[in-house]
Every structure is written in structure tokens, then in C-alpha cells.
Amino acid sequence: MTVRSSKVAHDVEITGTMKFKGELLFEGKFIGDSIEGDDLVIGEQAEIRAAIVHVKNFSSAGLVEGNVEVSERSSLKGTAHIQGNLTTVRLAMDDGATFSGGLSIVKAAGQA
């Protein structure tokens, strides 16, 4: 099975709602209600302002304002700035990353 990978370049701005499958490397700007998908990788220059981001895996090196729900793994790189609540199963956070909000680390679905 081939994993789909897509990229949104730094000169792209999206407003509204965004849904995707596979892996998305996001380097642009997003302002809107929600982002939904599988594996979201946020570039260093990216800016996301969303009411909710709901993904399977989340990796950020950029700015995210809003609540983030992750069903598997979250990774905050050294240049990441997160403002909002983060709910995840696993979290890795590099030195230099900033996080302002509530954090909930929950068990994966199906685990006792």
C-alpha cells in the first residue's frame, strides 16, 4: 500500500475547512474552522489558526493557534509555537518549543 503525501507551499493561504488523507506537509497559512486528516506536518514558516485540528499524527515546527486532538503521536519541534489545548496519546517536545494551553495525554482507543 502506498502512502499518499501532499504539500501545501508557503505562498498558499487557505480559509474555511480542510480535509486530507495520507501525509500533508503544510507550509502555508490556514485560517478557519477545522483541519481533519491523517498525518499533518507543519513547516517552520507555517501559520495555522483553527478552532480544531483533528489528526492521527501531528508534527509541528510552526505556529498553531487552536485546539489540537491527536489520536496517536504528537511532536513539537524546537521552533514550534502552540497556543491552545492539546489532546494526544504520545508527546515529544524539543527544547525551544513553546506551548501555552491545556495538555491531556490519554490512552489509545482499545487500551485498558
Q: What is the pLDDT of residues 20-79, one digit of tens each?
A: 999 999 999 999 999 999 999 999 999 999 999 999 999 999 999 999 999 999 999 999
**DSSP labels for 5-56?**
EEEE-TT-EEEEEEE--SEEEE-SEEEEEEEEEEEEEE-TT-EEEEEEEEEE
The answer, yes or no, to whether residue 3 has pLDDT greater than 80, is: no
Model pLDDT for residues 88-110, shown as the tens digit of each residue: 999 999 999 999 999 999 987 66
pLDDT in tens, 30-40: 999 999 999 99
| Domain ranges across the chain | 5-105
State residue 61's pLDDT score: 98
